[in-house]
Protein backbone atom coordinates (compact mmCIF):
# COMPACT_ATOMS: atom_id res chain seq x y z
CA UNK A 1 0.00 0.00 0.00
CA UNK A 2 1.34 3.43 -0.92
CA UNK A 3 0.98 6.27 1.52
CA UNK A 4 2.33 9.79 1.42
CA UNK A 5 4.98 8.67 3.90
CA UNK A 6 6.19 5.84 1.68
CA UNK A 7 9.07 7.71 0.10
CA UNK A 8 10.80 4.90 -1.79
CA UNK A 9 8.15 4.70 -4.48
CA UNK A 10 7.85 8.48 -4.72
CA UNK A 11 11.60 9.02 -4.94
CA UNK A 12 11.72 6.81 -8.02
CA UNK A 13 9.04 8.98 -9.64
CA UNK A 14 10.05 12.48 -8.57
CA UNK A 15 13.34 12.85 -10.47
CA UNK A 16 11.92 11.78 -13.86
CA UNK A 17 8.83 13.94 -13.32
CA UNK A 18 10.92 17.02 -12.57
CA UNK A 19 13.48 16.32 -15.29
CA UNK A 20 10.70 15.96 -17.88
CA UNK A 21 10.36 19.74 -17.52
CA UNK A 22 14.06 20.32 -18.19
CA UNK A 23 14.87 20.90 -14.52
CA UNK A 24 17.68 19.27 -12.56
CA UNK A 25 17.45 18.09 -8.99
CA UNK A 26 20.65 17.99 -6.97
CA UNK A 27 22.00 14.59 -5.97
CA UNK A 28 19.56 13.04 -3.48
CA UNK A 29 17.17 15.96 -4.08
CA UNK A 30 14.13 13.73 -4.38
CA UNK A 31 13.48 13.71 -0.64
CA UNK A 32 13.73 17.52 -0.44
CA UNK A 33 11.23 17.77 -3.30
CA UNK A 34 8.85 15.34 -1.62
CA UNK A 35 9.06 17.19 1.70
CA UNK A 36 8.43 20.53 -0.04
CA UNK A 37 5.34 19.10 -1.73
CA UNK A 38 4.18 17.53 1.55
CA UNK A 39 4.51 20.93 3.24
CA UNK A 40 1.74 22.08 0.90
CA UNK A 41 -0.38 18.93 1.10
CA UNK A 42 0.34 15.28 1.78
CA UNK A 43 -2.02 14.26 -0.97
CA UNK A 44 -0.11 16.28 -3.57
CA UNK A 45 2.80 13.87 -3.30
CA UNK A 46 0.59 11.11 -4.63
CA UNK A 47 -0.20 13.18 -7.73
CA UNK A 48 3.32 12.58 -9.01
CA UNK A 49 1.99 9.16 -10.04
CA UNK A 50 -1.19 10.44 -11.64
CA UNK A 51 -1.83 11.83 -15.08
CA UNK A 52 0.71 14.07 -16.84
CA UNK A 53 -1.51 17.10 -16.14
CA UNK A 54 -1.48 16.43 -12.41
CA UNK A 55 2.26 15.80 -12.47
CA UNK A 56 2.75 19.18 -14.19
CA UNK A 57 0.56 20.80 -11.52
CA UNK A 58 2.66 19.33 -8.71
CA UNK A 59 5.95 20.36 -10.34
CA UNK A 60 4.57 23.89 -10.78
CA UNK A 61 3.53 24.06 -7.14
CA UNK A 62 6.90 22.69 -6.10
CA UNK A 63 8.70 25.40 -8.06
CA UNK A 64 6.42 28.09 -6.63
CA UNK A 65 7.08 26.79 -3.10
CA UNK A 66 10.85 26.86 -3.64
CA UNK A 67 10.71 30.33 -5.20
CA UNK A 68 8.72 31.75 -2.29
CA UNK A 69 11.08 30.07 0.17
CA UNK A 70 14.13 31.49 -1.64
CA UNK A 71 12.56 34.98 -1.67
CA UNK A 72 12.00 34.76 2.09
CA UNK A 73 8.25 35.02 1.71
CA UNK A 74 7.68 31.92 3.85
CA UNK A 75 9.64 33.13 6.87
CA UNK A 76 7.65 32.61 10.02
CA UNK A 77 5.15 30.21 8.45
CA UNK A 78 4.70 26.72 9.88
**What is the span of the domain harbouring residue 26?**
7-70
**Residue 2 domain flag:** no
The model's pTM is 0.75
Compute CA distances 61 → 13, 58, 68, whole Å.
16, 5, 10
Q: What is the pLDDT of residues 1-45, one digit of tens each?
A: 445 556 677 778 888 888 988 999 888 888 888 888 888 887 887
**Residue 1 domain flag:** no
Sequential DSSP letters for 41-75: -HHHHHGGGS-HHHHHHHHHHHHHHHHHHHTTTTT
Determine the pLDDT at residue 10.
73
**Residue 58 domain flag:** yes
Q: What is the pLDDT of residues 53-74, one digit of tens each?
A: 888 999 999 999 999 999 999 8
The domain total for the chain is: 1
**Residue 16 domain flag:** yes
**Residue 27 domain flag:** yes
**Residue 77 domain flag:** no
Helix axes of 52-70 and 30-40: crossing angle, nearest 10 degrees: 90
Amino acid sequence: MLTTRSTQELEAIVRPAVEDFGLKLPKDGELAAIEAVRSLSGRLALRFMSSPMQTAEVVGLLLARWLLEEAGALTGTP
